[in-house]
Amino acid sequence: MSDAITHTGDHTHGHGHDDHHGPHIKKGILPWIGRWVFTTNHKDIGTLYLWLSFLMFFVGGAMALLIRAELFKPGLQIMNPDFFNQMTTLHGLIMVFGVIMPASVGLANWLVPMMIGAPDMALPRLNNWSFWLLPFAFTILMSTLFMKGSAPNFGWTFYAPLSTSYGPPSTDFFIFSVHLMGISSIMGALNIIVTILNMRAPGMTMMKMPIFVWTWLITAFLLLAVMPVLAGAVTMVLTDRHFGTSFFNAAGGGDPLLFQHVFWFFGHPEVYILIMPAFGIISEIIPTFSRKALFGRSFMIYAIAAIAILSLIVWAHHMFTTGITLSAELFFMYATMLIAVPTGVKVFNWVSTMFQGAMTFETPMLFAVAFVILFTIGGFSGLMLSIVPADFQYQDTYFVVAHFHYVLVPGSLFALMAAVYFWLPKWTGHMYNEALGKWHFWLSVISMNVTFFPMHFLGLAGMPRRVPDYALQFADFNAIASVGAFVFGVAQLLFLANIILTIRGGKKATTKVWEGSQGLEWTVPSPAPYHTFATPPVVK
């Protein structure tokens, strides 16, 4: 595709040096704060999203380490069971809504306008608001830790009646923070759709759009479809708690099982919302470092669309053991297995892109290759879980924990890390430290497997999820997993250090940055000027 793009004239030069460093602001802390609070620039907002995500990554990670510390050996060591439940709940909520989603939206903000040759997002003020709701949402969520009673302790899935009849008083703050996150996501998704549909440069047809833009377009539609349903679910929990309704209360004619249907109608598309931008990232990185065009490009687009549509009709595979009818179990089992087909197309195409390519293994490529292998492992354990009779055994065990951490950690998270290494030179104008990047990669990939692979065995042997204590026979694998988790946690400090070092200095990055880079964002100087494509490029 790269040869189809010609960049007409270097329009960025006329703007002068200050463009590289943002707008003119007075010296001092207040103008600096004002700049970031009132900014409507897509690059600024992208940066804010990414930093918030990074901060929450360490917060959620610290909670994960507390969980693993408690599980290092049998018995209760450092916390009581109720606090353990608060940690698992908040860890899940923060990693899903505070880390993966904001990082994906941050990347979309930075990259989508540059990739389609637009000067900014379509609705810049809405964009500012989408971001600035999030710090408040997470402040509210974190504040529940200091409230009387306890923080939310019912798991990130907040099943009724755990969150209705038995929820601690702080549940209301949790509900409000989910409302804010939902509004933020909906506005962010809306903005991305409008940008992609209305702001493309002349000649940038839909099928010429980079795959990352395509994945985000489809993700944004999924977000618009299901985030309002989540908002509805938390609203029902709220009215059940305080306004006398009985949506999920059997005594009043409601049904607790209904909660699971409503929640997973949101929850299953949500997991594709978490992974599809990652698919896009990987589809950008692998061709670059294989120095080939993406294999089966249009099939990649169709596959994403197929996954998105299927994701809306498989939710009850989370509920096989709730006593739903045999016919429903069969339908949801086959529909779930069907998702393996378009996903298989994607994995096949990534491998085929690498096949006979002139591959090099810079840090982003290492993360991308690890993604392909390890995400596939997570996909396979997902297939195992989709088989109804097998799921009866796996339900609510550590096998499920292993499965979703395999698709989220070396899946979504590795893709996001790959993206940061891949585009960091474009953002900062400096090359990152390759040696440090490789240390970060190898430590992460090894420790991540040490952490999560034994969980498969624990689950098959019958260790339940969400327990602060466990039977003696699970001790060895749990100890191994805990060691892995702490190494993984420490390795992320290298990532932080590398990013800070790259922002502060380092080898100057060229415009193209990578030998095999393709796409419009590699035609603007590094670092990308504050305003790009004020006059649209012409894409042939």
Partner 1 sequence: MIDKRKNRRLGIILFSASILMFGFGFALVPLYNVLCNALGINGKTNTTPVAEAYSPIDKSRVVTVQFIATNNENLPWDFHPSETQVKVHPGENRLITYFAKNNAGKTMTIQAVPSVTPGIAAKYLRKTECFCFTQQTLMSGKSMLMPMKFHLDRDLPKNINTVTIAYTVFNTTGQTRGKSSKAGRISK
Which residues carry out catalysis? 91, 120, 156, 184-185, 268, 270, 272, 283, 317-318, 343, 346, 465
Question: For residues 399-438, which are near partner 1 according to CB under 8 A?
Answer: none
Judged by DSSP in three states, 99 sits in helix
Site string for partner 1, 191-230 (x = CB under 8 A): x-xx--xxx------------------------xxxxxxx
- Which residue, 239 or 393, is less far from partner 1 as judged by CB? 239
Which of 119, 135, 296, 357 binds partner 1 (CB under 8 A)? It is 119
Per-residue string for binding with partner 1, 165-184, x by CB under 8 A? x-------------------
Pick from 126, 306, 337, 475 the residue near partner 1 by CB under 8 A: 126
Q: Cα separations (Å) of 350 from 198, 288, 419, 452?
A: 30, 12, 16, 24
DSSP 114-154: HHHT-SS-SSHHHHHHHHHHHHHHHHHHHHGGGSSS-S--S
Per CB under 8 A, which of residues 321..350 are in contact with partner 1?
A: 323-325, 328
d(CA 153, CA 137): 18
Quick one: angle between helices 326-354 and 256-290, nearest 10? 10
DSSP letters spanning 201-215: PTT--GGGS-HHHHH
Query: Are 418 and 462 contacting, i.e. CB atoms less than 8 angstroms apart?
Result: no
Closest CA to 367 of 450, 286, 487: 286
By the rule CB under 8 A, 122 interacts with partner 1: yes
Spatial CA neighbour of 423 closest among 280, 531, 292, 291: 280
Q: How many residues bind partner 1 (CB under 8 A)?
A: 43
Structural tokens at position 467: 């327990």
Q: Which is nearer to partner 1, 190 or 501 (CB)?
A: 190
Name the nearest CA neighbour of 181 among 134, 228, 126: 134
Nearest to 41 by CA among 21, 61, 71, 55: 21
Q: Does residue 253 touch partner 1 according to CB under 8 A?
A: yes
Among 232, 357, 462, 489, binds partner 1 (CB under 8 A): 232
Please write down the HEC assignment for all residues of 364-387: HHHHHHHHHHHHHHHHHHHHHHHC
Candidate residues 257, 460, 467, 503; the one interacting with partner 1 per rule CB under 8 A? 257
By the rule CB under 8 A, 7 interacts with partner 1: no
Residue type at 35 in one-letter notation: R
Give the length of the chain.
540
Nearer Cβ to partner 1, position 329 or 391? Answer: 329
Answer yes or no whether residue 250 interacts with partner 1 by CB under 8 A.
yes
Residue number with CB closer to partner 1 (124 or 357): 124
Type of residue at 27: K
Q: Which is nearer to partner 1, 181 or 285 (CB)?
A: 181
Task: Give the closest residue to 56 by CA, choosing from 138, 118, 133, 136.
Answer: 138
Part of the chain binding partner 1 (CB under 8 A), chosen from 131-139, 242-250, 419-427, 460-468? 242-250
Residue 202's CB is within 10 A of a number of other CB atoms, namely 11
Residues 304-323 that bind partner 1 (CB under 8 A): 323
Exactly one of 64, 262, 273, 417 binds partner 1 (CB under 8 A); that residue is 262
Pick the piece of the chain touching partner 1 (CB under 8 A) from 3-11, 83-91, 232-240, 519-527.
232-240
Nearer to partner 1, 9 or 253 (CB): 253
Task: Say how far apart CA 500 and CA 268 lie, in whole Å.
Answer: 36
**462 touches partner 1 by CB under 8 A:** no
Name the site residues for partner 1 (rule: CB under 8 A). 119, 122-123, 126, 165, 186, 190-191, 193-194, 197-199, 224-233, 236, 244, 246-247, 249-253, 255, 257-258, 261-262, 265-266, 323-325, 328
